[in-house]
Structure 1
């Protein structure tokens, strides 16, 4: 297993927010069934999805929870020359009310339009618990990886508080992050997530992840990183710390 591939594999999972979920077909035994799903990462760093009870992939998962999620770099001109990650997992439906509430709070920040949709339909939150990963970083860069994900040390009240503060009091700083990093400026950006390695911004219907210059393990370190970026005249190169 190559440790050099851990960081880019995890960053790909963070940077993207949709992938192809492949399940074992219930109606066509022996055939894989692929469907597109949006996702964000939960407190443990595992993909969190919201799927309808009447959807085919839900019926498939109820019969066999083994699945995979294929994630590739968006808008790539040559899909075989860029990174892609296949996450093999066991899907687990959330049934505990506290876990569902935490999942909803997180998921609806990333995909606010899903809140009303969820109320009008029978949807459930599922977590994809990774078993193994296959990461391809381009031609010839092929790796099997067992442990890619990292738990989010801020998930919950700490993260929600930091996000609310930034969106309420520092919209100019967020706009500066967008300008520095070259993200689209088609709509005002809103911060929706913070993890130890970076932050997620929502711009229109798109979600984008920006890496911190170096990992942050405390809210104080996050604040220092955000202040540094607000004053920077170019986006710093992230320090490659494996984990």
Structure 2
């Protein structure tokens, strides 16, 4: 099974008669494909970027990644790199988000996002990327570096054995309509939580399976928060979508109170 795509393996004996089974659309996949894909987008911080050489040869390289508020993949790339020159000539590309872990690498979920990547002047791209990768501040302002955003056209999710699905752009990205206030207030809220509420962040992370550690909030959006502690990252979802900063504050207070109660803390 080592070289068998798990989406094909899902076809079973019927697949053997008809040929390899195609992954189902996310809505028909039989598991939360959209939730898993968005979690991978938000938590995986490095992956493989595939671009096209001028002669059409595929070229794959390792890059670090973050996401915009809606989940759009963001990269900080040097124009001296082959993959950047390739993108500037032909923006078509794909990014592989792989969770990794112990044991068989093919047993862990991964997501391939296909689309077009282009330079972005959006200040939020810089803020979110550097919050996710603070060491990149050392070179982010070098003249040859710039931020790129990948506008996805589709996604291919492999959630492990017999769990595969295809996703549309709308399923990969979060609709921010009606939540402009949350997006606008994100940076202030992130700074406030990191400065004054480290205990609550630790509770949120622990409740989401992140374990103990000095957790830092790197970004938030209408559906959840992104936290990191060293090399670990975790996505924390709110009980329900929030559309303004008042609703966000209420959700965070309620989540902290519930986490303290479950942990038996005063």
User: Which band: TM-score by shorter chain?
Assistant: 0.7 to 0.9
Match of 1:241?
none
Q: How far is the alpha carbon of 1:70 from its aligned partner?
A: 0.8
Seen in structure 2, the aligned counterparts of structure 1 residues 169 and 117 have a Cα distance that, compared at 3 Å, is same
Q: How far is the alpha carbon of 1:175 from its aligned partner?
A: 2.4
Match of 1:138?
160
Count of residues in Structure 1 that have an aligned counterpart in Structure 2: 228
Report if the CA contact (8 A) 2:182-2:243 is conserved: no
Q: How far is the alpha carbon of 1:2 from its aligned partner?
A: 2.7
Q: Equivalents in 1 of 2:234, 2:26: separation in Å?
A: 27
Q: How far is the alpha carbon of 1:133 from its aligned partner?
A: 0.9
Q: Equivalents in 2 of 1:182, 1:142: separation in Å?
A: 24
User: C-alpha offsets along residues 122-147 of structure 1, whole Å, 9 cap, x if unaligned?
Assistant: 10111100011111222222222112
Residue aligned with 2:106, SS? coil
Higher helix fraction: Structure 1 or Structure 2? 2
Match of 1:93?
119
Q: Equivalents in 2 of 1:130, 1:155: separation in Å?
A: 23
Seen in structure 2, the aligned counterparts of structure 1 residues 5 and 202 have a Cα distance that, compared at 3 Å, is closer
Match of 2:33?
5
Seen in structure 2, the aligned counterparts of structure 1 residues 137 and 189 have a Cα distance that, compared at 3 Å, is same
Seen in structure 2, the aligned counterparts of structure 1 residues 87 and 223 have a Cα distance that, compared at 3 Å, is same
Q: Equivalents in 2 of 1:185, 1:161: separation in Å?
A: 25
Residue aligned with 2:105, SS? coil
User: C-alpha offsets along residues 159-187 of structure 1, whole Å, 9 cap, x if unaligned?
Assistant: 1121122122212211222343442545x
TM-score, normalising length: structure 1: 0.84
Q: Larger C-alpha radius of gyration, 1 or 2?
A: 2
Unmatched tracts of structure 1, length 5 or more: 236-243
Report if the CA contact (8 A) 2:47-2:62 is conserved: yes
Q: Equivalents in 2 of 1:195, 1:65: separation in Å?
A: 27
User: C-alpha offsets along residues 198-233 of structure 1, whole Å, 9 cap, x if unaligned?
Assistant: 211121244332222333333233222221221224
Q: Equivalents in 2 of 1:217, 1:156: separation in Å?
A: 9
> Which of 184, 193, 205 is the equivalent residue of 1:157?
184
1:183 matched to 2:205:
no
Q: Equivalents in 1 of 2:262, 2:79: separation in Å?
A: 46
Mapping for residues 8-157 of structure 1, pairs under 5 Å: 8-26=36-54, 29-94=55-120, 96=121, 99=122, 101-120=123-142, 122-146=144-168, 147=170, 148-152=172-176, 153=179, 156-157=183-184
Considering only aligned residues, what root-mean-square deviation do their CA atoms show, in Å?
Answer: 2.2
Unmatched tracts of structure 2, length 5 or more: 1-24
